[in-house]
Amino acid sequence: MVLYTGMSADNATNSSGDVAAEDSGETHKNARKSVVAVDGDDNDLEIVNRLEAHTGDGIRHRAFTALIFDEDDNILLAQRAPTKRLWDTYWDGTVASHPNPGQSQEEATRQRLEDELGISPDQYDDLRQTDKFEYKRYYPQEGVEHEVCAVLKLTLQDTSLDPVEEEVGGLMWVPYERLYENPRWYRQLRLCPWFEIAMRRDFE
């Protein structure tokens, strides 16, 4: 599996890639959560602390990003809330998170859609995994993402949304192909690195 590496385009870090987490230890809510550490082929290794997995050089772990479309092939972009530790106020396409130990990617996606956007399973019937890739990105002075990331997609038959303010700063429907082919038109939008990789792999 190809490993996509780099750092946030809007920031700089030292040559060693070291980062210091501003929120650390028991003060951060992720200190009480776990993720599944995996090898490069997405095989389970162990359960690790979620905050530790995103601090320093990071620990490779399982994750997912879910791309939500309407029936006209517009993608729903969701702005990450300013309280997020990593990539706060960046635009995601549409939600991203980590399955709990023992939870499937599909189950985790359904849960996240409901928790963040108020989307219930009866609003779609085509949830499926379409891709998977490994990437590593530093967010200087805050942390790192090193994930084997599954890509899931679905089309909403009912586009009713009820976003949770603590998770979502804004929402925007955008033509998916136009977003990829005309980045200058959307240059005011800072896109999450995992979404940029997923979108590029869709079209290249």
pLDDT on residue 25: 41
Q: Which residues of the chain have pLDDT under 70?
A: 2-31
Q: For 196, what's the count of Cα atoms within 13 Å in the CB-facing half-sphere?
A: 20
Smallest Cα–Cα separation from 151: which of 30, 68, 36? Answer: 68
Residue 147 catalytic?
yes
Q: How many domains does the chain have?
A: 1
**pTM, to two decimals:** 0.85
pLDDT on residue 23: 40
Separation between Cα atoms, residue 177 and residue 191, nearest integer Å:
15
pLDDT on residue 31: 61
Q: Is the dihedral of CA 167, 65, 48, 14 positive or negative?
A: negative
Q: Which residues are bridge partners to 156 per DSSP?
A: none
pLDDT on residue 187: 77
pLDDT on residue 142: 80
pLDDT on residue 21: 32
Distances (CA, A) of 47 to 43, 120, 204: 12, 29, 34
Give the domain range for residue 149: 3-203
Sequence-distant (≥ 6) Cβ neighbours of residue 66 within 8 angstroms? 94, 95, 96, 109, 112, 113, 151, 152, 153, 154
- CATH number for the domain spanning 94: value is 3.90.79.10
pLDDT on residue 2: 61
Q: Among 116, 142, 145, 147, which one carries the catalytic annotation?
A: 147
Separation between Cα atoms, residue 85 and residue 78, nearest integer Å:
16
Separation between Cα atoms, residue 161 and residue 112, nearest integer Å:
13
Distances (CA, A) of 101 to 10, 23, 111, 129, 175: 33, 24, 14, 18, 35
